[in-house]
Structure formats: structure tokens, C-alpha cells
Structure 1
Amino acid sequence: MSEVFSTTADADAELDRARSGDDAAFTRLVEPLRRELHAHCYRMLGSAHDADDALQDALLRAWRGLARFEGRSSLRSWLYTVATRTCLDVVDRRGKRALPVDLGPSSDRVVVGDAPVTEVAWLGPYPDAGLAAGPGARYEQREAVELAFVAALQHLPGNQRAALLLFEVLGFSVSEIAATMRTSTTSVNSALARARRIVAEKVPSATQQQALRKMEDARLREVVAGFTTALERGDAAALVALLTEDVTWAMPPMANWYAGRAAVMDFAVSVPLGSCGAWRHLPVSANGQPAVACYLWDEAAGTHRAWSVNVLTVRDGLIAGITSFVGAEHFPPFGLPDCLP
């Protein structure tokens, strides 16, 4: 809280004002923590929109229960406890979120006009602007929101998900996690062991942050620019030159996904480079990874409309995965316009 309060006495005085019913004081207390709490809710829930709702609910719960905060832990730890319990309630009600790869094998033929699958709760992208390093963190904050990691978390029951995040990402002790989750330290250790085993099976050994550190900034800019230029010009040869042999392309909420350079290029030539129309793009950053906001020409409206946020997974200077989150609803969290002239 040093960003706002110059001394512990100042912070204590502000807390006393908040306890007495001063909602402005409460807002000043929680504002420096809002971004990291929001990122925690996203990791738990796999959706920026769900994170918005969960954080709002958690802060309301915290405001109403502030009189019960006795100061035996830091305000930050207490707020994480409230936010975690709020997210666990959401997990119990809504279940897990998925990517197309979770639903079945890759498609062996191109599907043009693929219909959205609305009965699945899909994983969503997360804007990097919301990331902030918290004290005691063991994972880099960007690693902790990478698509592969957040997708793996969705395979865990809520208690294992919470235990892993609180311990590995936020640096909580086992006893603190047990208090947060109202369980025993033995249960927490057991949940951690099971969670680590499942995540290790599903997350690549090399994180995107490690891959990006090996990649020169100029090469990364070249890859992103090459991807957007190839789509805008309909240049299949330029696109294929940017892809690894085992590249994948998925497009939630469409269930079909493609694996391997040949299958991906068949899809690209048939759909984004073929039947879709004219594209424009804006580079962004999502889930600690390079990303591109795609706008598709709408003849009736006379403008390019928000279509998808494409999160790129890179390896050895090439694109190893494209996850196109289709839907204009993904654009507002990134501060992106809904159309381009």
C-alpha cells in the first residue's frame, strides 16, 4: 500500500475510517490491489468477464465484512481470501471452461461456416494491462496467465486450482491456504500434489516467457507483422513460412481445430484467406503472449468490425499455435474499438 499511504499509521487510519463506514476510504485501500485481484479471479475462472463479476462481488463482500477483519493478516491476504472463496462459489455453480482441444481430436477436413457451440463455457483471453507483480510471487505474473497454464487449471477441481494458485503464484503458506479454504493443512498438501501432477502433464515444459526471452524483439515484431500482412494480403506462402510443422489453430466458440502445417494451411486458404473477406489488424498483448486483434470488413456497415482476438504461441522464432477468440465481446477489456474505418 506504499503507492497510496506514506506510513503504516496512515494505512491504519484509513482502515479505521473504512470500518466506520467510509466507502471512499475503502476504495482507496483496495484500489492498489484491484489489478492483481482481478488477474487472480481470471486464473481461477478462465474468463475476463467472469473475473469482472467475481471481483465486484468479492469487494462487496469485503466491504460488508470489513468489521470482521481483525488485522491478524495483511489486508492483501484477507482480500485474496475473500476473492478466492467468491471464485470457488462461481466454480461450483458454473464448472470449468474449455478450449476446442479439450473437446476432441483435431479435424481431418476443413469446415467452412463452422457454427458456434453455445453449450460450452469457453476459455477467454486476458489483457496484459491487468497484470501486476505481487509480493511473494514465485511464478512470473505473465507465466501465470499464459493460455496453456490457465487452460490446464480448468482441469482441476476448484479446491486444487485455488491451492495451486495461492501457493505457487501468490506465495501463501500451506497454513494460510488451509485457513482461506477452511480445511486442514493435510488436505491442502494433498490438493497441491494432485494439482501439480495434472498441470505438469498439460503444460509445456518451456513457458511462453522463456520462449520469448530467447527470441529477439525484432524477430517477434517481424513474426506478428508478417502474420497480419499475410492475412490482409491473402498471402498463403508468407503465412506458411511463419508456422512450425506442428502448428495448431483453434477458434472458440467453434469446436473444430486443426493440427499440423498442412491442415492449418488448408483451413487458412479456405476460410480466413478465402471465404471471409478483407481484414485489418491491431497488435495487442494477451495472456503474456503476442496477440492480434482482427477486424473483418462488413460491406453493409461500410467498416471493419471486431471479429477475433488471436493469441499467438511462439517457439523457436515461429508461430506454434493460434487461438482465435471469436466475438466482439472480447474487445472491450483490451480497450479496443468495435470497428475500424
Structure 2
Amino acid sequence: MSVQTRVEELGMSEVDEAEFSAMAERHRRELHVHCYRMLGSFEDAEDTVQETYLRAWRRRETFEGRSTFRAWLYRIATNACLDLLDQRRPKAATGGEVLWLQPYPDRLLDELPAGDADEPEALAVAQETIELAYLVAVQHLAPRPRAALILRDVVGWPAKDVAELLGDSVNSVNSALQRARAGMREHLPAERQDWTDGDQDVETRELVRRYTDASVATDIGELAAMVRDDVRTSMPPTPGLYVGREVVVDYWVESGFEGMTGLRTVGTSVNRQPAIGFYQWSDQEAAYLPLTIDVLRIAGGAIAEITTFHADRFSSLGLPERLPAGGE
């Protein structure tokens, strides 16, 4: 008898911990992405998935089979996110910055289930919106409208199921959803409908190559020629949002970027966007050590946004801890 059959015939209380873990583990990655979208932080999402599984095991008798096991886990995970938002941080971002924002490696996004007609939740997650600009916009929403938006527009839940989870009426959920969609339009880039995901095209790859070369050469003039007039840069968790080519170039000059030497790079992709990990030579370590990661948003053949993360993100993104002298 399969675990699923046992659950259907005998109830969740008859399933032992190993069987329960096997059922739950199938959904770990999509739950992690769901929590990440709610929280904007890779690390907080990891903690919340662990909390979700603890809650699910302790409350397993509450699973009555009226929904799928996956939907039941999503309910628990969403409530765990809402609890965390109430306890540990500002409920919403302000001023365009999300200081707790962390990147999500594409190599882990590739673990998401492809989905099929019998698993609409998996299909929704496989087609999710995960770009950093989307994450930033979501973080500007209050927690409950945020949950309504994600569950309705991304995961694809019916309004009545979202209302049951949030303890609201369907009308209240629909009203919150409309406010959330309006908030997203306010904070998302105007050209977002023109974005494309999937494999990068030749033009994008060439622009990333030029950006990488100019960065290693610390050629501010060349970099300035590649960015849009309204380019935005930020470096969470360090405060500071710079908007506009002139402002960004001034920031690069004032930060001493032109004087940097001994740089090497490793290309990668995060949040379905091109990214470059920068390393700097250390005489003491006789190796190139992690420095920063630049994640690029490209629109209209130019760089529209540069989000820079600190060296502590290298490990979660699967980037090398150091690069040796000489060859790759």
C-alpha cells in the first residue's frame, strides 16, 4: 500500500514520521520559493520551510483530505510566513529599498516541478515570477494583501480558498487583491510587460560580456554607456538606492571603483537574471576571494538595474569560495 493510499484510507495519523517526511520532501523546493517570495530572503525562507514541516508533523491529524497534501502544506507555510512578518521585521518595505532582499540561484529554481494538468499548483510555480524587481514590489505590500496576491495570481488558488486561509470573506480577499495589484503596478518597472524569461538571447549575452569586461577594467565610461538614463542600483543590506545615470556614475566615482585592481569574475544566473560574481586578489591568501555579486536587469538592450549583493551570498549561490591564481 502506498503512503498516499494509506493516508486516503486510514488518515494522516497512521503515517509514521519517515513516510510523512517522504511525502513532504517532494514539495520542499516549491514551498521554499513560495516562502522566499513572501519574505524576500533566502535564509528566512529556509527557516520558514523548516517551521512549516514542524507544524505540519505536529498537526498532521488536521489534514482531512478535503484539499491536496500540497495545498495543505501551502496553507501552513503561508501562515508561518505571516507569523514571521508579524514578529521579526517591518511588515512592508518603504522608499523603494528592500534591505533584507537576497538572491535565489537559478540552479535551485531548476529543481521546481514542471507541473501538469493534474497539478495546477506545480504549473503555477513552474511559471512563476521570480525576478528581483517583482520581489521588491511584493515586499512593499502589507503581509495579508501580499499573501492574497501570491496565492491568487501566482499559485492560482480560488478566492474562497484564500479567504478560508486568511479568515476573511471572499469580498475582502478580492478587495485586498485589487489593492495589491495596484501596489504592484506602482512599484514594478513600467516596461515589465516586455520582459522575457528563459534563455538569454545573443544581444543580452553580449551586453553581459561587455559589462563584465568593463567592470574588471574598472572602465566607468564604458559602463556608463551601457546603462539606461533611469538606471537604478542598490546593494542590500547596505542602505542606498541610486537612480539615474549621472547619480550612479557619481556614486561609482566616489566609492573609489576606478582604483580597484586584481578582479576576476564568474558568470552565473539568479532569479532568472544574468549575474556576475566578482573576486579580488588577496596577497595574504594567494587567491582571488569573493567580493560582490552583480545581478542585472536588462531592458531595451541596456542595463536598467544593477543589484549588488555581498560576498556572504556566494555560498548559497553555489559560487566558488576562492579562485586560484592563473587559470580558471
- Give the TM-score normalised by structure 2: 0.86
Please show how residues 182-201 of structure 1 align to structure 2 within 5 Å: 182-201=167-186
Alignment of 1:128 with 2:106, yes or no, is yes
User: Which residue does 2:321 correspond to in 1?
Assistant: 338
Unaligned runs of 5+ in 1: 1-7, 104-119
Q: Which moved more, 1:236-245 or 1:80-89?
A: 236-245
Specify the code of the residue in structure 2 equivalent to 1:195.
A
User: CA contact under 8 A between 1:297 and 1:305: conserved in structure 2?
Assistant: yes
CA distance in 2, matches of 1:25, 1:289: 37
Equivalent position of 2:17 in the other structure: 23
The match for 2:4 is 11
Change (3 A) 1:51 1:239: same
2:39 to 28, 41, 45: 45
Counterpart contact for 1:98–1:121, Cα < 8 Å = no
Q: Distance in 1 between matches of 2:12 and 2:277?
A: 41
Change in CA separation of 1:142 and 1:271 when aligned onto 2, cut-off 3 Å: farther
Q: 1:319 aligns to what?
A: 303
Q: Provide the rounded CA distance (Å) in 2 between the counterparts of 1:232 and 1:100.
A: 33
Partner of 1:95: 89
Q: Given the alignment, which residue of 124, 145, 165 partners 2:130?
A: 145
- Residue in 2 aligned with 1:228? 212
Residue 265 of structure 1: CA displacement? 2.5
Q: 1:84 aligns with which of 78, 81, 84?
A: 78
1:90 is paired with a residue whose SS is: helix
The aligned counterpart of 2:140 is: 155
**Is 2:196 the counterpart of 1:218?**
no
Q: What SS does structure 1 have at the residue aligned with 2:25?
A: helix
Which amino acid in structure 1 is aligned with residue 203 of structure 2? R
- In the TM superposition, residue 128 of structure 1 has moved relative to its aligned partner by 2.1
Unpaired segments of 5 or more residues in structure 2?
none
Cα separation, partners in 2 of 1:187 and 1:124, compared to 1, 3 Å = same
The alignment partner of 1:332 has SS state of coil
| Counterpart-to-counterpart distance in 1, 2:308 and 2:249 | 15
Alpha-carbon distance in structure 2 between the residues aligned to 1:271 and 1:229: 19
- Which amino acid in the other structure matches residue 28 of structure 1? A
The answer as to 2:312 corresponding to 1:329 is yes
Q: CA deviation at 1:337?
A: 2.1
Contact persistence 2:7–2:15 (CA under 8 A): no
TM alignment of 1:174-185, pairs within 5 A: 174-185=159-170
Equivalent in the alignment of 1:290: 274
Question: Judging changes above 3 Å, is the alpha-carbon distance between structure 1 residues 319 and 215 closer, same or farther for their aligned structure 2 residues?
Answer: farther
- Pick closer, same or farther for the CA change 1:228–1:236 going to 2, 3 Å: same
How many residues of Structure 1 are paired with residues of Structure 2 in the alignment?
316
Q: Which amino acid aligns with 2:79?
A: R
Letter aligned with residue 12 of structure 1? T
Greater shift in the superposed pair: 59-68 or 164-173? 59-68
Counterpart Cα distance in 2 of 1:285 and 1:224: 11
Letter in 1 for 2:155: L
Q: How far 1:258 moved relative to its partner?
A: 2.4
Greater CA drift, 123-132 or 219-228: 123-132
Deviation at 1:148, TM superposition (A): 1.6
* Matching residue of 1:71: 65
Instruction: Give per-residue Cα distances to partners, 1:138-161, cap 9 Å, x unaligned.
Output: 877565221121111112111111
Change in CA separation of 1:10 and 1:65 when aligned onto 2, cut-off 3 Å: closer
Query: Does residue 308 in structure 1 map to residue 301 in structure 2?
Result: no
Give me the whole-angstrom Cα distance separating, in 2, the residues matched to 1:100 and 1:163. 20
CA-CA distance at 1:324 after TM superposition: 0.4
Quote the Cα distance in structure 1 between the aligned partners of 2:93 and 2:234.
Answer: 8
Q: Which amino acid aligns with 1:59?
A: Y
Measured on the aligned residues, the alpha-carbon RMSD in Å equals 2.8
Identity %: 40
3-state SS of paired residue (1:333): coil
User: Greater relative contact order (Cα 8 A, min sep 6): structure 1 or 2?
Assistant: 1
Over 3 Å counting, the alpha-carbon distance change for 1:325 and 1:76 in structure 2 is same
Q: Tell me how far apart the structure 1 counterparts of residues 243 and 172 of structure 2 sit (CA, whole Å).
A: 39
Listed one character per residue, the Cα deviations across residues 182-207 of structure 1 (whole Å, up to 9, x for unaligned) are 22222212211211111111112433
